[in-house]
Amino acid sequence: MPHQRVIRYLSADDLADGLARRLVRAILRRQDTQDEVHLCVAGGQAATRVYACLHDVDERTSVDPSRLHVWWSDDAFVPTGDAQRTSLRTLPLLLTAFHLDPSRTHPIPTMDGKDDADDAAYAYAQELGNTIFDICLLDVGESGAVASLFADDPSFSPHTTALAVGVTASPTPATERISLTLPEINRSHQVWLIASGARKATAVNESLLEGSQLPAALARGTEETLWWTDQLAAAQLPSYNCSL
């Protein structure tokens, strides 16, 4: 399994600003050498702060929106327009930052026209097809969850062949959600896990322990797995484990 690297910023603000810059540069580097770039984004407070910081990154104007696809790691299974939708909060920030082409944005289907969360997950899987994310951003939950994969939930199946799954008893609102599966996440070239603040410190530490089976521990990119943290989130890690 590729090595995991932990990057630690001093504060939550530094993390959001630094990660926004690194994200723009990573997209530009990929666009230099390949046609389409597929970015998967997460909700979560820290990830959303990163998207808000994209506006301050001058190089973002060099990103070619006609060659950038944006996908979501998970979302609430609720009606279109429901405030619980992650994409409702994140899409406007990303649209403005990159002037995205709406036909290249792929929000997870809503409840409208779908029988249940599994039906929506199936539709999302169809849309995904053979897509491999160049960068998959995941916001680490307090329990070591990523996307809407919760260690104790029966919908978390590390070896499933499905690309997306319906979650019907999420411990965090909304109760019904749709999530990428671990195998789909792990086809990504780069997996970037974000953890900010003291409430994430235990999850970060436990996920980085040898043999951890938490969803955050099992999420790995085929090329690289990076943990983007701030001092509070990385507080329980040995300092030699961190760069920056």
Ligand X SMILES: O=C1O[C@H](COP(=O)(O)O)[C@@H](O)[C@H](O)[C@H]1O
Q: Which residues bind ligand X (CB under 6 A)?
A: 42-46, 73-74, 86, 139, 141-142, 145-147
Smaller CB distance to ligand X: residue 97 or 219? 219
Three-state DSSP class for 239? helix
Distance from C-alpha of 180 to C-alpha of 146, rounded to nearest angstrom: 10
Nearest-angstrom CA–CA distance, 5 and 183: 20
Task: Output 63 or 70, the one with its CB closest to ligand X.
Answer: 70
Single-letter amino acid, residue 61: T
CA distances from 8 to 15, 52, 75, 93, 114 (A): 8, 20, 27, 24, 41
Cβ-based burial of 168 (10 A; exposed 0-12, middle 13-18, buried ≥19): middle
Label the pairing between strands 224-230 and 37-41.
unpaired
Compute the least distance from the CB of residue 122 to ligand X, in Å.
Answer: 20
Q: Which is nearer to ligand X, 86 or 225 (CB)?
A: 86
By C-beta, is 41 or 54 nearer to ligand X?
Answer: 41
* Minimum CB–partner distance for residue 33 and ligand X (Å): 29
Q: How far is the CB of 240 from ligand X (least distance, A)?
A: 27
Nearer to ligand X, 43 or 221 (CB): 43
Rounded Cα distance between 8 and 243, Å, is 6
At closest approach, how far in Å is the CB of 76 from ligand X?
8
* Residue 156 beta carbon to ligand X: minimum distance, rounded to whole angstroms: 13
Least Å distance, CB 35 to ligand X, is: 28
Instruction: Tabulate helix, strand, coil % of the chain (nearest 5).
Output: 35, 20, 40
Q: Rounded distance, CA 88 to CA 207, Å? A: 29
37 vs 178, beta carbon nearer ligand X: 178
Q: Which residue is nearest to ligand X (CB)?
A: 43
